[in-house]
Amino acid sequence: MKSLHIPAIVLLISIAVCVLSFPSSSFKKEDQKVPIKRGHVRDLYQFGTMISCATNRSGWDYYDYGCWCGYGGSGTPVDETDRCCYTHDSCYDYLVNNNICSSWWAPYVANYLYTTCHKCEPESAYPPDDNDAACKKALSRNLHQFGNMVNCMTNRSRFDYSDYGCWCGMGGSGETVDEVDKCCKIHDKCFVSLMYTKCYFPFHVYTVVYNYQGCRQCDPISSYSSWEDKVDVECKKGVCDCDSAAALCFSQAVYNSSYVNYDTSKC
């Protein structure tokens, strides 16, 4: 487990140089091309370390790239790299607007725990008195609604499935270890299918906010506002269906704690 403690001098330098983005009041669809003004300091030390580890590039290579990477952000992403920045900004906005983080500045300064480039530690790894543990965990991927479905169907925290077997959590490969792991593989494959058939861009599946009732009953497409983009609505409904099926799958599978933090070299 790697916990990065930023020296004061590094933080001051980061604040002086890394002025990036202030969360917008709500998500803006790409095709609206409505500028989102952002001017708050974002602490990118940990995020930059992840980028460097995963891409062998400096985090600063993405500082002033396209329409969404760096200070300010608006319009339509110029390519897939720029779409990643757009998705990342939208994810932060969602955490703030849905009160997953205790304050609007939390996503920009939270010191989260992670290992091996971009594998985030579960919420249980944080001290019991850490009120922003859920926020820190969520900074890597938006699983809030899916997590609520899982919790409702299984009475388990969504983070119980964040590092289980070969397919549950960040990434996924190899043979599944049990039925729970199969649920995760099916969920991943469901998302992959949506990325290239019903959503505008691949990372959209991680940021959309869909409509559902009860534990896992997805609302029909007709429940969405008439002004919403048709493709965007179909993507939301598709993501909801994937999440709903996975939550049901988890509820019918036997959870084996021996597969938590599983050695992925065996996959």
* 169 annotated to bind ligand: yes
Using only the alpha carbons of the chain, give its radius of gyration.
18
Residue 42: both structure tokens together: 């974002």
**Dihedrals phi, psi of 49, to nearest 5 degrees:** -65, -40
- What 8-state DSSP symbol labels residue 168? E
* 59 annotated to bind ligand: no
Residue 69: both structure tokens together: 């990477």
Closest to 250 in 3D by CA, of 160, 141, 120 = 160
Catalytically annotated residue among 89, 187, 204, 232: 187
* 93 annotated to bind ligand: no
Mark whether 40 is an active-site residue. no
Cα gap 146→244, rounded to integer Å: 8
**Dihedrals phi, psi of 60, to nearest 5 degrees:** -70, -15
Mark whether 243 is an active-site residue. yes
Residue 46: both structure tokens together: 């940990």
- For residue 226, give Cα distances in angstroms to 185, 212, 222, 229: 34, 17, 8, 8
Report the binding-site residues: 169, 171, 188
Report the binding-site residues for Ca(2+): 169, 171, 188
Q: Report, as residue numbers or ranges, the catalytic residues.
A: 187, 243
